[in-house]
């Protein structure tokens, strides 16, 4: 009765039903809470930035009403959170480790190919793309740290509780900002909004550092997991070396194509290519449970990207506004020069 479930989850031995599911659930809950924290803080950063850019009071009221409409569909956010928890619970440590290493390779490739050409758009797009990979990184790190612990279920419960508290605080902060920040930032009598008004521009930089730290710790745990499950066999390096080189070339190609395209369609296209290559890799060297977990990962990536459509729209609108501002500033000296020339000619 329990064999199909243990085969799907990728357990190496037939463990008790309750303990295995509880540990997997707590690991998935930690990963989903990390995604929720990233998601809410990015929305807070973009909302504060758009409010600071809009000087007119009617524009601020419009942005506040649009954010309030986003909060009306709060049940969708709750459903999305628990759906990610289930998906992350189904993804095992083997596939999670490969996802973490693959995203780390993508970040290095983006840094080498793009460099500092798009400092505003590049980090934000990477934060959007890393949502499900961040969940895999947190769940993989927690699972690696609890290997062989005498009270692993209790430790995972405490970790999930702390993650739940942090995610709840960030969600409540986003609800407060979306409803009351345009008013409180002008009246200046709310401590939260005053703090965000003075230091809210550092949210994106802080997020980048925290995500880099999380992936650095997860990369170490993922390397150990991949070595134990894939590279410890005899002559495994001779087989994995050409596969790794081919996958690296694919990641570089996807990164170059993504620099040419914009929007959610380009991100979905890159997800299909990446996970399709990972699926072929698991069909070659993995188990059937790994193949099923890659398909689960695809659902998680698509769910995170679809939930972040408004963030992508806000980033694209911000790019359009900045490009229009740069165009106006560059064309204004020419306009003034032509006006002075025509006036001197008329005199």
> Can you tell me the distance from the alpha carbon of 200 to that of 220, in angstroms, rounded to the nearest whole number?
32
Output 285 or 226, whichever has higher pLDDT: 226
Do residues 203 and 43 make contact, with C-beta atoms less than 8 angstroms apart?
no
Q: What is the pTM of this model?
A: 0.81
pLDDT of residue 151: 81
Could you count the other beta carbons within 10 Å of the beta carbon of residue 47?
23
Summarize the confidence of residues 297-310 as an average pLDDT: 88
pLDDT per residue as tens digits for the range 98-110: 899 888 888 887 7
Q: Which residue has the tokens 């509880």?
A: 22
Average pLDDT of the chain, as a whole number:
76
pLDDT digits over 66-90, tens only? 555 445 457 788 899 999 999 999 9
Whose CA is closest to 312, among 265, 259, 260, 251? 265
Does 108 fall in a domain? yes
Q: Give which of 259, 268, 261 is closest to 307, Cα–Cα.
A: 268
Domain count, the chain: 1
pLDDT tens digits for 134-161? 999 999 999 888 887 788 889 999 999 9
> Could you tell me if residue 142 is inside a domain?
yes
Query: What pLDDT score does 301 carry?
Result: 92
With b for 16 or more beta-carbon neighbours within 10 A and e for fewer, the 9-45 pattern comes to bbeeeeeeeeebebbbbbbbbbbbbbbbbbbbbbbbb
Name the token pair of 340.
Answer: 């002075």
- Say whether 232 sits in a helix, a strand or coil: coil
Out of 127-131, 176-180, 331-335, pick the least confident: 331-335
Q: What residues make up the domain containing 236?
A: 3-317
Residue 334 domain flag: no
Is the pLDDT score of 287 beyond 50?
yes
Decide if pLDDT at 214 tops 90.
Answer: yes
Calculate the dihedral angle through the C-alpha atoms of 226, 83, 250, 317, rounding to the nearest 10 degrees: -140
Distance CA 180, CA 195 (A): 14
Higher pLDDT, 291 or 188: 291
CA distance 271 to 298: 7
Please say if the pLDDT value at position 335 is more than 50: no
């Amino acid at each position: 009765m329990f064999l199909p479930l243990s085969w799907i989850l990728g357990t190496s031995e037939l463990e008790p039903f309750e303990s295995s599911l509880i540990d997997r659930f707590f690991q998935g809950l930690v990963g989903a809470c990390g995604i929720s924290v990233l998601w809410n803080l990015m929305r807070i950063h973009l909302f504060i930035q758009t409010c600071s850019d809009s000087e007119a009071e009617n524009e601020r009221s419009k942005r506040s009403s649009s954010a309030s409409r986003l909060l009306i569909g709060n049940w969708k956010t709750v459903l999305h959170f628990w759906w990610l928890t289930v998906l992350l619970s189904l993804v095992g440590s083997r596939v999670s480790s490969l996802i973490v290493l693959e995203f780390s390779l993508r970040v290095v490739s983006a840094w080498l190919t793009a460099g500092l050409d798009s400092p505003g758009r590049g980090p934000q797009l990477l934060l959007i793309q890393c949502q499900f990979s961040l969940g895999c990184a947190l769940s993989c790190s927690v699972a690696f740290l609890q290997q062989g612990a005498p009270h692993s279920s209790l430790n995972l419960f405490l970790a999930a509780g702390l993650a739940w508290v942090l995610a709840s605080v960030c969600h409540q902060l986003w609800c407060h900002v979306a409803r009351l920040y345009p008013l409180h930032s002008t009246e200046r009598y709310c401590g939260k909004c005053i703090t965000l008004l003075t230091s809210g521009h550092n949210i994106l930089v802080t997020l980048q550092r925290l995500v880099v730290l999380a992936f650095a710790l997860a990369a170490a745990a993922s390397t150990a997991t991949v070595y134990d499950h894939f590279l410890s066999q005899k002559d495994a390096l001779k087989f994995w070396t050409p596969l790794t080189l081919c996958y690296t070339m694919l990641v570089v190609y996807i990164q170059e194509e993504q620099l040419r395209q914009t929007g959610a369609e380009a991100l979905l296209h890159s997800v299909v290519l990446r996970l399709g290559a990972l699926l072929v890799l698991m069909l070659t060297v993995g188990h059937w449970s790994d193949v099923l977990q890659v398909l689960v990962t695809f659902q998680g990536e698509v769910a995170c990207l679809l939930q972040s459509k408004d963030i992508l729209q806000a980033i694209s609108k911000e790019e359009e506004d900045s490009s229009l501002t740069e165009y106006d500033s560059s064309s204004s000296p020419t306009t003034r020069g032509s006006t002075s020339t025509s006036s001197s000619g008329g005199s």
